[in-house]
Structure 1
Amino acid sequence: LIEMLAVTLSKKARARAVQLPAWNEALGLPRSFDQQWSLRMQQVLAYETDLLDYGDIFDGSREIERRVEELKGEARAELERIEAMGGAVAAVENSYMKQALVESNTRRLEAIEGGDQVVVGVNRWTETEPSPLTTGEGAILTVPEHVEPEQIARLQAWRAARDAKAAEKALADLRSAAQEGRNIMEPSIACAKAGITTGEWGTCLREVFGEYRAPTGVGRTARVDTQGLDAVRTEVDAVSARLGRRIKFLVGKPGLDGHSNGAEQIAVRARDAGMEVVYEGIRLTPAEIVNAALEESVHIIGLSILSGSHVPLVRDVMERLRAEGMDDVPVVVGGIIPPEDEAQLKAFGVAAVYTPKNFELNRIMSDIVSIVDREAQRAA
């Protein structure tokens, strides 16, 4: 409702279309009736109020005009900074844009942790009555494990039923266009008509152009002005001394989940706490994560999963670690994880599970140090 009001109250700033953000998206994928509630609220606003019958209700407001001018000034200053770097492409390539977003979110989380920014139910007024909407089976939507093999079977059937020669020719034409620098739109349309899947289309182009990995926005240099980290830094230094090298922490984002804020903030806080951090961004396979852990000789792995696929992804990572003889490397998991799934992840061997209620990052850092220390002592 709040998000909807922000893009509807002012006629001059009104959105032509409004997304359906559901009330429980912080907990997981919205269920069908969650989305319907959101739709109904929009319909109530449109058809049961007279908001749309009037001009801009903020016209003439000195306070709104003042704030608009402030925002315009800040936006122009930001555009000038980007222009001085050589433009938007350069600002993406040198990681300025992504790093600015990560740093902004870091400041926001620090304000929440310190109590300067109030989030009802998180850092104030946290006591609550049990709700049938958030407890019990189906309260948090997760992806059933049978979905993947069923989709694979449908995909295989699709490929088997299409004209193989036409599909092969369409892909060859696409590859040629990409290699020769020609417009790939027409061969892409031909691929679609020949039944080429998006996966095949993407693989073909990756083979020609390579795969772009965007900057993560997580710099290598630790900040020195972070408040409340002194105790954790002391713990990191002590355990690192016992290990003979700096604690090395790999933060991984397996699967297709693109929600990177949590992983980025964990990586930033671990870096600021004095750990050596390995973070390669989003959409990695379990195999890539385990391979990175092996090559980097990390002490601990943190997986961030908000897609609802935490059970199969974590199982895959744990099995691959055991196959590589790395079952002594502890794994912690963060994400949208129901209590019953938390027990299952721990049965796989996961050392700790964190959910949105665990917003105190310094406490998480202290836990990570303790887990590394405990595992090192056990292995000694």
Structure 2
Amino acid sequence: MGVNHDKDRPWVMRTYAGHSSAQASNELYRTNLAKGQTGLSVAFDLPTQTGYDPDHILARGEVGKVGVPISHLGDMTALFDQIPLAQMNTSMTINAPAMYLLALYQSVAEQQAVADGVDPTQVVPLLAGTTQNDIIKEYLSRGTHIFGPEPSLRLITDMIAYTVEAMPRWNPINICSYHLQEAGATPVQELAFAMSTAIAVLDAVVAAGQVPQERMGEVVARISFFVNAGVRFVEEMCKMRAFVELWDEVTRERYGVQDPKHRRFRYGVQVNSLGLTEAQPENNVQRIVLEMLAVTLSKDARARAVQLPAWNEALGLPRPWDQQWSLRIQQVLAFESDLLEYDDLFAGSHVVEAKVAELVAGARQEVDRILALGGAVEAVESGYLKSALVSSHAARRRRIESGRTSWWASTASRPPSPTRSPPTWTRRSTASTPTSSGRPSRRCAPGARRATPTRSAATPPRRRWPG
């Protein structure tokens, strides 16, 4: 371990966003990109996720509520207006209709190419990003499935075969342990269920015969994962290292992939949203930071894309300012700290190695149990995986709550210190006053206490972020 003279590049920084309409979401995307965000993560509304048009009776009350509604090419064109897709890295959280949404995305990229006078066939191979497309886990955690497990697996297989040939930089599937954790999975179950799903997918690709055996390394190289990171920092960091070890083992021994670059465990992460609280929501900030550190500190198991929830997500739809705060948390770590200048910080740690070995051993046993049932699809259809999650969910919730009750009540009603009373603002009027810069200003009344000190000539300027 030592200084990494070839400084590691930062992970792709995203915010999970989409709401109300394609036009409003496009404005939000362009604003976030201007602030230094380096990728997009599209949240689709529930009707889109389940294959309904906005005017369908079952879509009533849900259009644009938890994401952006997309039902045709015009919507997708508006969503990415003035965003050059050939230069973008886009994650789309979409499962059952993933093939349809990817086709719309490709069509928009081709339209942009024609408008720029470029041959569309030269642009499509440049498209980079991910479609979640893990329809199997929908049966275990979210319930937005449309097709049965077997047809779902065929759709996934066809989509992988297409992207390997036509869109070699695109990740056709994002195998999700994120939702499994929120459904109650233990770290061992996250590892085992995700690996079992990956094995089911890769076995289906081999059996379909659409991709020659000599190109299986290319298939493996485009399989990505979407992982959850909870507040148990050490355990979560070790879980990521266990993922790296298991994926390398499975792809090398089961599928004969020899190139270490193809066997690299590639994952994106959103830290645990379910653990954020409505009570004392300001405490969510330190939860988010701790959870982010679990997936960034260890270079050998570092996420290549990170999206953080907003601190007040448990209360409602975050404001653009709240999303900016989440982006700034990532930027401070990547651009102000020295994290990216060092090799792996945990190499040789006896504590970490022992915990990783424990997680790997437990996951291997669980994978063997699932394979004995016939694989992930059969384990879903038999109800084994679902019952395993249900049994562990209650225990997980009890552990989370017990960790809080020991201190939560004792601090919840503590009065503010009498020597540090909050500042009092008195506004002269409710109208905005123009300043010399042309920006509106809210001035304090004469003699009113300011919330922050005025800047003197000696005060250094604020740091300017990328964008």
Is TM more than 0.5 here?
no
Structure number with higher relative contact order (C-alpha < 8 Å, ≥ 6 residues apart): 2
Q: Which has the higher helix share?
A: 1
